[in-house]
Amino acid sequence: MTTSGDIRDTVWGTETFYDRWLQSQGIPVIKGYAIDDLNTVKVEPWTRKGGKGAFVILEGAEGMADCYISEIPPGGNLKPQRHLYEEMIYILSGSGATTMWWNEKEKQTFEWQAGSLFAPPLNVVHQHFNGSGDKPVRYMAVTSAPLMLNLVHNADFLFKNDFAFTDRYQGEGDYFAASKGKLHPGRIWESNFVTDIRSLKLYEWKERGAGGSNIMLELSNNTMAAHISEFPVGTYKKAHRHGPAAHVVLLNGEGFSFMWPEGGNRMKIPWHTGSMFVPPNRWFHQHFNVGSTPARYLALRWNSRKYPMGKAYKTAEDVKAGGDQIEYPDQDPTIEKDFQAECAKRGVTSKMAPFLENK
């Protein structure tokens, strides 16, 4: 009888069911803390999808979500898919259309372009088509597959289940109409399809500091959600922390972010348009714009406002009052020095003085 150690190591090993499923897909798996450019990640033929793909499994996802990149060949299409996990899709390049249906006689098609964001309703059959005859389409998606596959540990149940979640989608003719979106109090935009998140209107968010703006996104009655934030040239946001698996994708701008566990060393992540990183669970992170344009990013994450799950982090409240945000006067002084040095390298004028003086 084993009397010490972890039974998972001695009997079954440490791989999860999702780990084994991931290996079975036969495409590259990129790991680390950040990706320099989602547009240049190497993709390989993906039998299940019928195009090319690669997984991006970053440390901060911590088994709660994953990311993959998929490419549709010129004039081609992917295979129809359905699955019992949520998925949010951001189009990196190209244009095309997606058809969705519960049954073959009632299909619905909508068009998208680079910058579009949408979420196929849970378990609905969907198929993506490339609208160009000479250029591939590339998109990235964040899903809840790791959580669901590890929970159920049966892939057939997740991929071959025909249950229709009609409380989420009934084939409404305007379900994917961009004009159907609704703005709720608290900067919340509820929509099933956003034509171009790079130009979507944002709203002032004073609590995060530095003249930034933001909008929270609720998609397709999901438990997963997203938000978009933007902040001006020569500024940086207040540091904050929350749970794992928030995939931060840079839509525009140039700069860097710091990530660190409480009491630990800071990790510096340089970024530009197309970069992605995922802050680990409860690590503070702080974003700095040292480019020539406003910096805008998309965060694909857990915890919808409509269907919340788990702990509600106080990401806009002072840590000294029990929240999860570090106010400017309380940050490590070397943070401001690092920012000023990066600005000086690029000839960027810092605009932080009034924010540092007045919190």
pLDDT of residue 1: 42
Measured from the Cβ of residue 186, the count of other Cβ atoms closer than 10 Å reads: 9
Candidates 357, 210, 198; CA nearest to 289 is 210
Both tokens assigned to 149: 């596959």
The whole-number average pLDDT for the span 320-329 is 96
pLDDT at 359 over 60: no
What confidence category does residue 48 fall into, taking pLDDT thresholds of 50, 70 and 90? very high
Q: Do residues 164 and 119 lie in contact, with contact meaning Cβ atoms separated by under 8 Å?
A: no
Give the three-state DSSP class for 47: coil
pLDDT at 341 over 70: yes
Measured from the Cβ of residue 212, the count of other Cβ atoms closer than 10 Å reads: 23
Dihedral sign for Cα 205, 336, 275, 294, please: positive
Domains of the chain: 16-159 (2.60.120.10), 197-357 (2.60.120.10)
Both tokens assigned to 6: 């972890």
pLDDT at 2 over 60: no
Both tokens assigned to 160: 């071959």
What confidence category does residue 264 fall into, taking pLDDT thresholds of 50, 70 and 90? very high
Cα–Cα distances in angstroms (integers) from residue 301 to residues 88, 242, 308, in the given order:
9, 11, 12
Query: How does the average pLDDT of the chain come out, rounded?
Result: 94
Percent of the chain having pLDDT more than 90?
89
Q: Which pLDDT tens digit goes with each residue over 172-189? A: 889 998 878 999 999 999
What confidence category does residue 7 fall into, taking pLDDT thresholds of 50, 70 and 90? low
275, 278, 284, 286 alpha-carbon torsion, rounded to 10°: 10
Residues 6+ apart with CB under 8 A from 147: 63, 64, 65, 85
